[in-house]
């Protein structure tokens, strides 16, 4: 098996060493070089031809954002940003996504063995997702794309958990009382920019929207603020006890599951910890299952670009409960893992190009009498 070749760029020797150890625990990934700054990294890029760059944004001599801009302008290579868990780090990471970075992860916390295992999984998954994105985005005439990543190795002890670990499955015989319309959206790799194209197209009459976008803890608040500045609908990070309203979008906070529950004639949100589901927290499967239980046929489920299968089973559950379901089509997805798996499992009514998703949401709202 051809391994994914990674260049690590970080000014801290200790960080470079720790990241190398985490990546080399995955047999499908090879660290071919490390660099302490952008100038050394540029030389290594010419010499080593990496498939993916793991980039710290806080670099001497030339900051990571400037270097990223030059990479994307001169020789696009998939880049994963490894950013600090700070407000400034979050803002810089979002700017990196705008510039073309494939993924953003937080600096690993390695205080315990469980921390190390989770950090390794998050990091290796991000590298694989970036390699997938690089294959789809390779410009014509460019060098050969990185190898297609195989299935992620099982690095976490125990089985990969389903939404059963957080929520009981929907009961086939249960009858959901008539509820107001609600929209649940899930996304991962490529989702930040995809959502930035979809949500500005929504009107203030849009039914409430709840979103899981795979992002690190402390990054989602800045992401929500960025989207809020682009949209006519209100966008914010979801809080425990929120009551989603028309014209409002709630983004699941990083490192917590977002659960939608019935509350009188409407809905409320629960923010819970719990185990990782489908390798993620927040998990799209958890949100979709809770929406199937709370709203049944009053819901619309949308699964967008992303690697893996999180959300696929949940979309099946939503469709079984009578919800309208759709996926982002393959041509417009950065990675067609999650939506593709939902299609294979029979969870989608239809596949829609990215530029038509806002229209599909408006059509759903109109049918529900909310627009």
DSSP state of 10: -
**CATH number of the domain bearing residue 266:** 3.40.50.180
Indicate whether 335 and 208 sit together in one domain. yes
Indicate whether 178 and 290 sit together in one domain. yes
Q: Is 154 annotated as catalytic?
A: no
Indicate whether 61 and 173 sit together in one domain. no
Indicate whether 176 and 120 sit together in one domain. no
| Residue stretches of the chain with pLDDT short of 50 | 139-142, 150-156, 370-371
In a domain, 142, yes or no: no
- pLDDT of 202 reads 98
Model confidence, pTM: 0.91
Q: Which of 10, 51, 310, 329 is catalytic?
A: 310
- pLDDT of 89 reads 85
What does the DSSP assignment read for 152-200? Answer: PP--SSSPPP-GGGTSPPPPTT--PPP---EEEEEE-TTHHHHHHHHGG
In a domain, 291, yes or no: yes
- pLDDT of 370 reads 47
Q: Which of 51, 125, 214, 329 is catalytic?
A: 214
**CATH number of the domain bearing residue 61:** 3.40.50.2300
Contact partners, residue 110, CB within 8 Å, separation at least 6: 18, 116, 119
- pLDDT of 174 reads 63
* Number of compact structural domains in the chain: 2
Tokens standing for residue 225? 């603020």
Indicate whether 317 and 178 sit together in one domain. yes
Report in angstroms the alpha-carbon separations of 13 from 22, 24, 83, 94: 14, 16, 16, 25
- Which residue bears the tokens 């009551």? 243
Q: Round to whole Å and give the CA distance between 245 and 252.
A: 15
**Domain that includes residue 323, residue range:** 163-367
Alpha-helix residue ranges (DSSP H) falling in the chain: 13-24, 38-48, 64-74, 87-99, 113-137, 191-198, 220-230, 284-295, 312-320, 338-344, 357-367
Q: Which of 90, 188, 332, 333 is catalytic?
A: 188
Task: Count H helices and E strands in the chain, helices first.
Answer: 11, 14
Indicate whether 49 and 123 sit together in one domain. yes
Q: How many residues does the chain have?
A: 371
- pLDDT of 154 reads 47
In a domain, 285, yes or no: yes
Q: Is 214 annotated as catalytic?
A: yes
Q: Is 10 annotated as catalytic?
A: no
Q: Give, for 103, the enclosing helix (H) or strand (E).
A: strand 103-106
């Amino acid at each position: 098996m051809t391994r994914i070749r990674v260049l690590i760029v970080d000014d801290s020797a200790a960080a470079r060493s720790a990241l190398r150890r985490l990546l080399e625990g995955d047999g499908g990934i090879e660290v071919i070089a490390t660099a302490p700054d952008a100038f050394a990294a540029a030389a290594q890029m010419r010499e080593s031809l990496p498939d993916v760059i793991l980039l710290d944004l806080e670099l001497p001599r030339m900051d990571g954002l400037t270097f990223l801009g030059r990479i994307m302008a001169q020789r696009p290579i998939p880049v994963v940003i490894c950013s600090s868990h700070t407000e400034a780090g979050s803002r810089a990471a979002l700017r990196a996504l705008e510039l073309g970075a494939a993924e953003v992860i937080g600096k690993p916390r390695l205080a315990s063995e469980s921390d190390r295992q989770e950090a390794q999984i998050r990091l290796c998954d991000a590298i694989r997702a970036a390699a997938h994105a690089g294959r789809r985005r390779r410009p014509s005439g460019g060098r050969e794309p990185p190898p297609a990543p195989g299935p992620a190795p099982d690095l976490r002890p125990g089985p990969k958990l389903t939404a059963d670990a957080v929520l009981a499955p929907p009961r086939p015989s249960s009858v959901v009382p008539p509820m107001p319309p609600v929209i649940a959206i899930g996304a991962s790799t490529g989702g930040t920019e995809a959502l930035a194209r979809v949500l500005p197209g929504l009107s203030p009459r849009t039914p409430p929207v709840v979103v899981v976008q795979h992002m690190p803890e402390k990054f989602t608040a800045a992401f929500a603020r960025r989207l809020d500045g682009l949209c006519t609908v209100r966008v914010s990070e979801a809080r425990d006890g929120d009551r989603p309203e028309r014209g409002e979008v709630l983004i699941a906070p990083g490192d917590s599951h977002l659960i939608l529950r019935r509350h009188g004639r409407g809905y409320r949100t629960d923010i819970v910890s719990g185990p990782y589901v489908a390798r993620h927290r927040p998990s799209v499967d958890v949100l979709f299952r809770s929406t199937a239980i709370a709203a049944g046929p009053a819901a619309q489920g949308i699964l967008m670009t992303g690697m893996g299968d999180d959300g696929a089973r949940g979309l099946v559950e939503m469709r079984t409960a009578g919800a309208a379901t759709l996926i982002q089509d393959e041509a417009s997805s950065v990675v067609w893992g999650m939506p593709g798996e939902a299609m294979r499992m029979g969870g989608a009514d239809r596949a829609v190009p990215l530029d038509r998703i806002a229209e599909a949401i408006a059509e759903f709202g109109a049918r529900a009498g909310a627009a």
